[in-house]
Structure 1
Amino acid sequence: MVEPQLQQELFPILLRFRMHRYAMSADIAKMYRQVYVHEKHVDFQRIVWRDAPTEELKDYGILRLTYGTPAASHLAVKALQQVARHKMTEFQSSAEIILRDFYMGDHLTGAHTADELVLHASEKAYAAVAYARTKYLDGKIVVNLVASRTKVAPLKSTTLPRLELCAAHLAAKLIKQITACLCSPESRMFGWTDCTVTLACLQGHPSRWSTFVANRVAEMQEILPSECWTHVRSESNPADLAYRGMSPSSLLSYKLWWHGPPWLSSSSYVPHEVKRQDHTTQLEMRKKTAAVNVAEPSQHWTLLAKFSSFSKLKRVTAYVMRFIDNVRNCAQTMPRKQTGPLTSKEIQVAELKLISAKKPLPRRISLLRLQPFVDKSGILRVGGRLKHSNVASDVKHPVILAKSSPLAKLIVADIHKFTLHAGPRIMQALLGCWCTQLNS
């Protein structure tokens, strides 16, 4: 059985490692072979071996974790973390480092800071770059690259403002990772973009924008408030490298990439005193709609909803039609009153009455392939080339019933019960009519 992942993600470990003044690395030699398996589980790790074909086979139980088994990595990390927790009270700082800075058997840590983030997008790619701006006690200010994220623009064509927003969304997620790994409570995060449309979206409530924009804006505002986002000129944006590209030799000496815009290192620059500018845009605005309720009479006969059996509904309808005929016949000089049990003819007429169409032929695209028509009895039937075949009329032109109609539901329920819950193919064969979307 494959167990859940226990080890830390590699990105935050590397990120924290770069922030130390003094670095330290370590490695657990033959990590899996350092972990013993409980004696009651040894029998699950057995091999049969002999050094030569002439020797007798020997049975071995493996006492330690075996490389290649699905659970080995989980158990190795679990054992390491359990040792750290067991020694937490005795060696607290060491135990915390083990739980935080190990990636499997490799250890990166050290001993010994607030951050700025810039982003940009083009039709080819978009990127976000994060910088740490540290002010020392002697007044010296140092700005260094912390991390970056780059993504290739999707193959499906999209607008540049949307790509710029995707860059800002990427930046927000990078901020969230960095904050979780490095930042102390007094650290402050700020975002910069050279796209005023993105800033306008961030300054508005998510409900104002289309779904694509609203989802990203809501998540970004939760990570970094809109007042912490500011505009940066394109020439001062190091994230331009994401789409312009640069050779490795040129990148080594490109200060804008490694240390951010020059004004970030200026002592006169105070992040929280940067004046916020209000931006507006009509792009991606959610269309306003007005809801209107129109009461319409039901398209279906109310009698259909009063019965749970199609057989009973047919018989009730037949009796009602018989009563109407008897009342009309009373006006004649020689009245003919129908009595006694219902005949098969009466039940058949009642069935045709129930499925007869009393409204115009529907124009739904899904029915066009059936070439529907309304016969002389007012019943909607399937047309097509079978009209030239030598079979019964009901077989050539089955009745069409809509899946959503109460009548169709009653008929299908009766057949479903009669066939002991058979599948759609058997039910369709027994229906004797064409029920749209029967499979669903």
Structure 2
Amino acid sequence: MSAYGACVYIVSRSADKANAQLLCSKSRVAPLKTLSIPKLELCGALLLANLLSKLQKMDIFSGPYFCWCDSTVVLAWLNSESSRFTTFVANRVASIQRLSAGMEWLHIPTALNPADIISRGALPMELNASDLWFHGPLFLLLPRSSWPPSPAQEQCILELRKATCLVLTSPIDLTSNCKSPTLTVSDLQNGTRLLVRVVQRATMWADLKAIQANHVLKSSNCLSSLSPFVDDFGLLRVGGRLSNSSLPFDSRHPMILPRKHPVTSAIIKHFHKESLHAGPRTVLARIRLHYWPIGGEEQSLL
């Protein structure tokens, strides 16, 4: 389609005769930017709405105004809220709905649509001999009951605006609710657990949900060999036979840290410095009394 257009016909009726005549038409060259056929059809519908709106304001003709389009997609757009669609479609649908307020939009088969002559083009001799162009489709002279039936309207899914899903959850208090002027050991421990929980939820959310639902992790999952579980605080910890030992809870079930995360790197640096830059195995042993960094043996500082 290299062009689009619209044409307007006036139908006059007397006691024994009806006549339809081309009143005016307008065409536009399709933009250089490639547009889909439905979008070009929508531009044609806007052109028609502008023409009819101007004629209506002239207050010369009495009677109803009918708008015809052979695109079921365009008709579905016009029967919907303009805000549902992307900017290009939404702006034109809103304009058409405003300009053609009080007018009825109907479907016309493509073979009977004289506006298609504009988009296809025609030689002067062909146009001069075209009754369809000068007098419109024959059904305009017939009672409305004989007009072409309009297809059932379906909800259009083309050019829908992308929806954003917003999920509201109860806020998580990431503070330690410290009321004293100084930090205590308990405050630091709670703050550290909160930080690790946030990191785990950001990086291992799927694993957390699977473990909470008692799903078996795939053997290829790096956590599967750790027998992980989620504690009462919502932290992902290492399970296994150490639960039967007399070690402190954090040493029996260290908190799992994601691979190469900034928080993981900061914790490794802390223990590396605290151990006076000891060897990799010594540092890793100290870390695993509290944390279990995934791939800890491969960390650059170790």
The alignment's TM-score, normalised by the length of structure 2, stands at 0.51
Offset, 1:225? 4.2
Q: Which residue of 1 aligns with 2:107?
A: 231
Change (3 A) 1:227 1:249: closer
Contact 1:207 1:214 in 2 (8 A): yes
Q: Say if 1:250 and 1:275 are closer, same or farther in 2 by CA, change over 3 A.
A: closer
Counterpart in the other structure of 1:168: 45
Q: Structure 1 regions of 5+ residues with no counterpart? A: 1-121, 298-359, 361-440
- Which of 257, 261, 265 lines up with 2:141 in the alignment? 265
Q: Is the 8 A contact 1:202 1:226 kept in 2?
A: no
The ranges of structure 1 where at least 4 consecutive aligned residues each deviate by more than 6 angstroms after the TM superposition are 271-276, 292-295
**What is the aligned counterpart of 2:18 among 125, 131, 141?**
141
Deviation at 1:181, TM superposition (A): 2.0
Q: After TM superposition, give the deviation of residue 249 of structure 1 in Å.
A: 2.1
Amino acid at match of 1:235: A
SS at match of 2:144: coil
Partner Cα distance (2:83, 2:102) in 1? 15
Indicate conservation of the 8 Å contact 1:206/1:218, yes or no. Answer: yes
Aligned length: 172
Contact 2:114 2:133 in 1 (8 A): yes
Deviation at 1:273, TM superposition (A): 11
**Distance (Å, rounded) in 2 between the aligned partners of 1:269 and 1:247:** 33
| 1:74-99 deviations in Å (ceiling 9; x for gaps) | xxxxxxxxxxxxxxxxxxxxxxxxxx
Aligned to 2:294: none
For residue 153 of structure 2, what is the amino acid of its counterpart? D
> Is the contact between residue 144 and residue 260 of structure 1 (CA under 8 Å) also seen in structure 2?
yes
Matched, 1:280 2:155: yes
1:252 and 1:132 mapped to 2: Cα distance? 19
- The aligned counterpart of 2:164 is 289
Q: Find the aligned partners of 1:182 and 1:202 in 2 and give their Cα distance.
A: 25
Give the secondary structure class of the aligned counterpart of 2:40.
helix
Is residue 18–residue 141 contact of structure 2 (8 Å, CA) maintained in 1? yes
2:82 pairs with one of 200, 206, 219:
206
Deviation per CA, 1:35-74: give whole Å up to 9, x if none: xxxxxxxxxxxxxxxxxxxxxxxxxxxxxxxxxxxxxxxx
Q: CA deviation at 1:233?
A: 0.6
Structure possessing the higher relative contact order (Cα contacts under 8 Å, 6 or more residues apart)? 2
Between the aligned partners of 2:125 and 2:149, the Cα distance in structure 1 is 35
**Displacement of 1:279 after TM fit?**
3.1
Distance of aligned partners of 1:226 and 1:216 in 2 relative to their CA distance in 1, 3 Å threshold: farther
- Structure 1 distance, partners of 2:100, 2:151, is 15
Pairing of 1:45-194 with structure 2 (within 5 A): 122=1, 124-136=2-14, 138-184=15-61, 186-194=62-70
Deviation of residue 183 (structure 1)? 4.0
SS in 1 for 2:25: strand
1:287 to 1:226, Cα distance in 2 relative to 1, 3 A: farther
Pairing 1:366-385 to 2, within 5 Å after superposition: none
Whether contact under 8 Å (2:11, 2:21) holds in the other structure is yes
Q: 1:240: how far off?
A: 1.2
Question: Considering only CA atoms, is the larger Rg found in Structure 1 or Structure 2?
Answer: 1
For the structure 1 residues 273 and 192, does the alpha-carbon distance in structure 2 shift closer, same or farther, using more than 3 Å as the test? Answer: closer
Aligned equivalents of 2:158 and 2:13: distance in 1? 40
Structure-2 change in CA distance of 1:208 and 1:227 (3 Å) = farther
The TM-score normalised by the length of structure 1 is 0.36
Give the secondary-structure state (helix, strand or coil) at the position aligned to 1:216. Answer: helix
- Distance apart, 1:280 and its partner CA: 2.4
Asked if 1 retains the 8 angstrom alpha-carbon contact of 2:4 and 2:29, the reply is yes
> Aligned partner of 1:129: which letter?
C
Shift, 1:290, TM fit: 3.4
Deviation at 1:271, TM superposition (A): 9.2
Aligned partner of 1:246 in structure 2 is 122
- Residue 214 of structure 1 aligns with an amino acid whose one-letter code is A
1:226 positional shift: 8.4
Equivalent pairs: percent with the same residue? Answer: 37
- CA separation of 1:274 and 1:127: change in aligned 2, threshold 3 A: same
Q: Structure 2: which 5+ runs fail to align?
A: 175-261, 263-302
Deviation of 1:140 after TM superposition, in Å, equals 1.2
Residue 239 to residue 155, structure 1, CA distance change in 2 (3 Å): same
